[in-house]
């Protein structure tokens, strides 16, 4: 009887410890998430997008006319750059104020909720704090949005700009090699595909093509991916970060370690 009682006490203790770890979890600084699609569909964004589309249509017509007048490659390049700049200016003019106000609203909501990072909803599988409603409410109100006075606590979540890492010479070279390989294989497999007698053969050719390209991709890019991953993990460790995500998924806050990773990869 006494033994049973001891067992029951032990079971209760173990169950409490095992089933409620969150109760004694170390204090992680807040992680928020935002449904960017929902924010993007607000009337202010829709209006700015419509205006931008109209401006682009006008610029496109002007661009075609200007290109007709361009006689040399240098002229064409100049015209292309000129119109790219014009479009970029228009984009900043129309979208800039809207984006700035949104960023301010997110910062204010994040500060109010003590969040050190706000990410895109898509990458949060579990937990976190949904700030979409608060941000939408703030943006929909007529009140002026000011920058928060209190800065958020430093985040344990870091981010890297994948586009910047993709422009490293080693990555570019591997990309070019892969692209050439894919082009060459495509020609070979197009012939095999056309020579195939029936659908089963054609499916087999397509599957073989996919496998071959995937294998080459793995051979060329996997070492770079592994190297980048370990350099990123090392940089994260140095800065006391737990995980590192892509810059494209970060809406606000976080710690940028792109430069650290770039430097490590260039060594």
Partner 1 sequence: MSKMRFSNKRALVVAVMLTALMAGCARVDVNSAKIRGVGYVRVDQVIKHDPLYPQLTKLNDAIAAVKLQYAGSPPPSTAGIAAQTTQLAQELKVAGEQTSRILAQTRADYEQRERAAIAAALAAVGNTGAGDRAGQSMGATSAAQAQAIAKQATQGFVRYQQSVVREDRATIAKIAHQIQLKAARKYQARVMEDQQREAQLSYSLSKQDAPKVVAIKTRLSNLALDGATKKRLQGELKAIEQRERAAIDAMRNRHKASLTAYGKQLQARTNAQIAQQAQNIQRDSQSKVAMQRDAVLAKLRALGPAPLPQNLSPATKAKIETIHHQFTGEFEAQAQKIIANYDSTKADIDRQYAALTGANAGATGAAGQELAKLERRRVSLYRQMETQVRNDAQRVARRLGLRVVFQGVIAASGGYDLTNQVTKDIESLNK
Rounded to whole angstroms, what are the CA distances from 114 to 32, 213, 225, 266?
Answer: 9, 47, 34, 36
Tell me the HSE value of 38 on the side-chain side, using a 13 A CA sphere.
Answer: 16
Kindly identify the residues of this chain, within the stretch 8-27, that bind partner 1 according to CB under 8 A: 10-11, 14-15, 17-18, 20-26
Rounded to whole angstroms, what are the CA distances from 192 to 92, 125, 186, 197, 209?
Answer: 50, 43, 10, 10, 10
Q: Which stretch binds partner 1 (CB under 8 A): 34-42, 64-72, 77-85, 122-130?
A: 122-130
Q: For partner 1, what does the binding mask look like between residues 37 and 76, x meaning CB under 8 A?
A: ----------------------------------------
The candidate with the shortest Cα–Cα distance to 168, out of 29, 74, 240, 261, is: 261
Residue among 57 and 242 whose Cβ is closer to partner 1? 242
Taking residue 185's Cβ as centre, other Cβ atoms within 10 Å add up to 15
Q: Does 197 bind partner 1 (CB under 8 A)?
A: no
**Min dist. Cβ of residue 73 to partner 1 (A):** 23
**Phi, psi dihedral angles at 213 (to 5 degrees):** -65, -40
Residue among 136 and 241 whose Cβ is closer to partner 1? 241
**Min dist. Cβ of residue 55 to partner 1 (A):** 29
Q: How many residues does the chain have?
A: 267
Q: Does 115 bind partner 1 (CB under 8 A)?
A: no
Residues 6+ apart with CB under 8 A from 153: 29, 114, 116
Q: Which residues bind partner 1 (CB under 8 A)?
A: 3-4, 7, 10-11, 14-15, 17-18, 20-26, 28, 31, 119, 122-128, 156-157, 160, 162, 186, 189-190, 193-194, 198-199, 202-203, 205-207, 209-210, 228-230, 232-234, 236-237, 241-246, 249
């Amino acid at each position: 009887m006494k033994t049973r009682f001891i067992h029951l006490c032990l079971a209760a203790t173990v169950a409490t410890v095992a089933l409620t770890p969150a109760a004694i979890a170390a204090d992680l600084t807040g992680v928020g998430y935002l449904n960017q699609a929902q924010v993007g569909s607000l009337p202010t964004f829709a209006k700015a997008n419509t205006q931008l589309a109209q401006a682009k249509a006008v610029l496109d017509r002007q661009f075609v006319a200007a290109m007709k007048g361009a006689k040399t490659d240098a002229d064409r390049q100049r015209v292309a750059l000129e119109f790219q700049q014009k479009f970029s200016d228009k984009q900043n003019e129309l979208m800039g104020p809207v984006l700035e106000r949104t960023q301010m609203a997110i910062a204010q909501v994040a500060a109010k909720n003590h969040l050190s990072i706000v990410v895109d909803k898509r990458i949060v599988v579990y937990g976190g704090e949904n700030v979409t409603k608060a941000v939408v409410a703030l943006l929909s109100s007529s009140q002026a949005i000011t920058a928060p006075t209190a800065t958020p606590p430093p985040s344990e979540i870091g981010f890297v700009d994948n586009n910047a890492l993709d422009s490293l010479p080693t990555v570019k070279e591997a990309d070019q090699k892969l692209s050439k390989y894919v082009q060459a294989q495509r020609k070979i497999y197009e012939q095999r595909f056309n020579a195939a007698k029936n659908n089963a053969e054609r499916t087999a050719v397509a599957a073989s093509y996919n496998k071959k390209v995937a294998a080459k991709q793995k051979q060329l890019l996997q070492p770079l991916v592994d190297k980048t991953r370990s350099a990123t993990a090392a940089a994260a460790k140095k800065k006391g970060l737990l995980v590192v995500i892509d810059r494209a998924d970060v809406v606000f806050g976080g710690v940028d370690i792109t430069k650290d990773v770039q430097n490590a990869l260039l060594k």
